[in-house]
Amino acid sequence: MSDVDVPEDHPRYESLLTRHRIEEGVEKGITSKQGLIAEGRGEAFDYLLGEETTESADAAARAAAAHLLLARHPVLSVNGNVAALVPGEMVELSEAVGADLEVNLFNRTEERMEAIAAHLREHGASDVKGLAADASIPGLSHERAKVDADGIYDADVVLVPLEDGDRAAALAEMGKTEIVVDLNPMSRSARSAAVPIIDNILRAVPNVTRHARDLADASDEELRDVVESFDRTAALAAAERRIREGVGDR
Ligand code: PTJ
């Protein structure tokens, strides 16, 4: 048994554990109540995708790693679900690619901002951005637009996991290269991303880190080859196909 009393031989062990982590996130003031709903939606898509990293999601993770390594200023955006599910893994990725971590919330309150920043520091982050909020993303309503001038506002490449469609589109509109992690290949955020990673954040973040370590000694030319050989439209189509084909078998 784990510390949350989920029997390890339960057929849905992983997803039950994930639910508990989100619940704990809500109790600690890290995750919003809407985060519970987002988790439910994600779980449904993960089930349809077979709860594994597909070949096209792996190719997307490698392209994401190459983009982050090539970037002038990469930033990893963290919301309440990401902080509850993969805090240490986000810190590791930020270190592997030399990226900033910035808390950026849909349901922003100062208490949650502080709680998430503290949680990331507990998991090894040395610097957490997002609290200054001295710049804003054009075309979005006030609270959701708040970013740091020397963080997301200045970034050329941004990783935005589990994002809502409006902000993902607004960041893309600012000319930033956007890497989105989302289990729904039909979501607007996945569709507006240069690199949509259609995978569970639990698997996707460590996988991007693994690819980044593997590519650490690659030349810029090799990294550009990885970026250019990734086909975002094909990746989205592959995920949709997988969902349609998988549904008939289960
Ligand atoms: O912490 P906040 O205030 O910034 O709020 C964060 C949430 C996630 C609540 C907010 O951004 C939101 O409402 O998002 P949506 O519009 O519900 O979209 C969440 C997307 O993430 C959906 O397409 C889900 O399928 C997807 N998703 C949920 N869990 C996971 C996931 N994708 C990858 N991995 C997951 N574990």
Measured in angstroms, how far is the CA atom of residue 205 from the centroid of ligand 1?
15
- Measured from the Cα of 162, ligand 1's closest atom is 21
Mutate to test the pocket of ligand 1, among 39, 81, 102, 146 (most ligand atoms within 8 A of CB): 81
Domain that holds residue 185: 55-249
CATH of the domain at 190: 3.40.50.12640
Any domain includes 224: yes
For residue 175, the SS3 value is coil
The answer to whether the beta carbons of residues 184 and 190 sit under 8 Å apart is: yes
Any domain includes 140: yes
Tens-binned pLDDT, residue by residue, of the chain (250 aa): 445 566 777 777 777 888 999 999 999 999 999 999 999 999 999 999 999 999 999 999 999 999 999 999 999 999 999 999 999 999 999 999 999 999 999 999 999 999 999 999 999 999 999 999 999 999 888 778 999 999 999 999 999 999 888 888 899 889 999 999 999 999 999 999 999 999 999 999 999 999 999 999 999 999 999 999 999 999 999 999 999 987 665 5
How many structural domains is the chain composed of? 1
In the sheet that holds 100-103, the strands lie side by side as: 128-129, 100-103, 74-78, 157-161, 177-181, 195-197
Any domain includes 12: no
Measured in angstroms, how far is the CA atom of residue 107 from the centroid of ligand 1?
12
